[in-house]
Structure 1
Amino acid sequence: MDSSAEASSLAQGLRILRLVVDREKRGRQQPGVSQLAAELDMDQGRVSRLAQELCDLGLLERADRGPFLTGPRFFSLAASLNTGWVGAAKPELESLVSALGLRARLSIRDGFRAILLRTSSNDAGLGSFVAPGMVTPVWCTGAGRALLWDHDRSALDQLLHEVNFIGVGGPGAAHSIDEVWDLMARDVPRGYVTSDEEFEHDIVEVAVPLRKTDGAILASLSALGSRAQMGTDAAGVATVLRGAAERLGSLAAS
């Protein structure tokens, strides 16, 4: 199997795993092969093979050809990740809520996508689309562009050269690599990223990179709210975010 096929299988396997876990978290009826195939718009035979591989790995489990359930290996992996800086992020996010009166997020980057790793407790209500694992374009959120902080123009060109900007993001979103670069050139000298309606309407976001002790960007911290909630002191918000980022970064191994 070539690398592209392996990547495709991995991505599809993760989609299956995510759907099973999400349904279990929400207390919904667990799916079988046909339901997984229908919901994910995948070939039923491929779903069956990938789901069995996930069961063999212990990430899923299934009794007597019944519905799929989250497996014990998933929970052990989750527990191993919920330590160090990731575990410490939860109280830091709640401290940001107390200090700023805004929502707070911890995000990481996967190529040209930003993945929401943790949220503050006030960041999602009933029916909200906001949840850990949410994927957004890296170029049109504050959290995403903070993850691009160390990219020079050539690296940005290479990352975004195949991106389709049309129809993506909110009214303030960039629609070309040039526009993304202009935003980064504006933000980096002042030490923080601001995003004004770049992804969600009437949402302003302030973000900073979170670095490991060796200086490499590991994640981003952001605070967001409506224009009225954010006010005019973005620099003050960024100062509080940087303090939290430094504390978490000190816990991350080089």
Structure 2
Amino acid sequence: MDSSSEASSMAQGLRIVRLVADREKRGRRLLGVSQIASELEMDQSRVSRLTQELCELGLLERVERGPFRTGPRFFGLAAALNTGWVRESKTELEALVASFGLRSRLSVREGFRVILLRTSSNDAVPGSFVKPGMVTPAWCTGSGRALLWDEEQPAIEALLADVNFIGVGGPGAAHSPQEVVELMDRDRARGFIVAEEEFEHGVYELAVPVRTAKGSILAALSVLGSRAEITSGADDVAKALWEAGQRLGSCQGGTRNSAGRNGLAS
């Protein structure tokens, strides 16, 4: 699957989730595969595949082949959007846009998938598939690899053991767990993640983890742009990301020094 077809699948998956959530909120009759396909004018086999994946993610649920309703992960995301650190992230994302002119994002990880929580105003243009809830692979995105920052080689290999790497991502994407480990080792040494065309052709992503007061990884902050935009001021952008991450982490009840294992020193 190339990046464009994956983006299309994400957009269609989000349409399905929005339809199900809207009908449930309004108290209308819930729908099965054929009804969703008819309502959204989509191929029934494609709806069947996408709803299965959405159920696996916990964004939808279905009991005994009955109609679909929103799943526990959907409500978890909705609750997360009302927490202090996610609310504060809007200001941080827009500050990154103002400082560097780069698209910025806040993401969390669910297994080997990354879920977008919030995006900057210049990253969510009309008609774009880039919206909260978008799902991307952890192994070939800057945000995903930032969320893997603390994972050692055995954990990464176990996480990605059943992943099909073929045809996913851009020209810089890893094609095996070992390649992911090598990219992680390279980026930890310089203190931040740079994903060079790993998910989309021509798109570079710089990312860092956001930590709680206790040091565990809470989320990832990332910016996206062209090669020139990302590499020309990478150290300054990374420093700004780490500082923004510290401020968001403080909303969890404390701060954490970003020196040493966390990346760049203040």
TM-score range, shorter chain: 0.7 to 0.9
- Within the alignment, does 1:130 sit opposite 2:130 as a pair? yes
**Structure 1 position 31, deviation (Å):** 8.0
- Tell me which amino acid in the other structure corresponds to 1:187: D
Counterparts of 1:41-120 in structure 2 under 5 Å? 41=48, 48-51=66-69, 78=78, 81-120=81-120
Output the CA distance in 2 between the equivalents of 1:202 and 1:90.
Answer: 26
Corresponding position of 1:71: none
Describe the superposition over 1:166-210 as per-residue Cα deviations: whole angstroms up to 9, x where unpaired: 100001100011111110010002110001100011111100000
* 3-state secondary structure, aligned to 1:213: coil
Letter in 2 for 1:154: P
Moved more, 131-140 or 228-237: 228-237
1:231: how far off? 4.4
Matched, 1:185 2:185: yes
Deviates more, 1:124-133 or 1:153-162: 124-133
Distance in 1 (alpha carbons) for counterparts of 2:241 and 2:111: 24
Shift of 1:215: 0.1
- The alpha-carbon deviation at position 106 of structure 1 amounts to 0.2
Structure 2: runs of 5 or more not aligned: 1-13, 53-61, 255-266
Alignment check: 8 A CA contact 1:208 1:222 kept: yes
Percent of matched pairs sharing the same residue: 57
Confirm or deny: 8 A CA contact 2:140 2:199 kept in the other structure. yes
Answer yes or no: is the 8 Å Cα contact 2:104–2:221 preserved in 1.
yes
Q: 1:47 to 1:130 in 2, by over 3 A?
A: farther
Q: Which amino acid aligns with 2:243?
A: G
Relative distance call for 1:176 and 1:22 in structure 2 (3 A) is: farther
CA contact (8 A) 1:36 1:47 kept: no
Give secondary structure in 2 for the equivalent of 1:122: helix
Cα distance in 1 for residues equivalent to 2:172 and 2:22: 31
One-letter code aligned to 1:178: Q
Cα distance in 1 for partners of 2:30, 2:68 equals 14
Aligned length: 217
Which structure would you say has the larger Rg? 1
* Closer, same or farther: CA 137–251 of 1 in aligned 2, 3 Å: same
Q: Name the structure 2 match of 1:157.
A: 157
1:218 paired with 2:218, answer yes
Q: Distance in 1 between matches of 2:96 and 2:162?
A: 36
What 5-or-longer segments of structure 1 have no aligned partner? 1-13, 25-29, 60-73
Match of 1:65 in 2: none
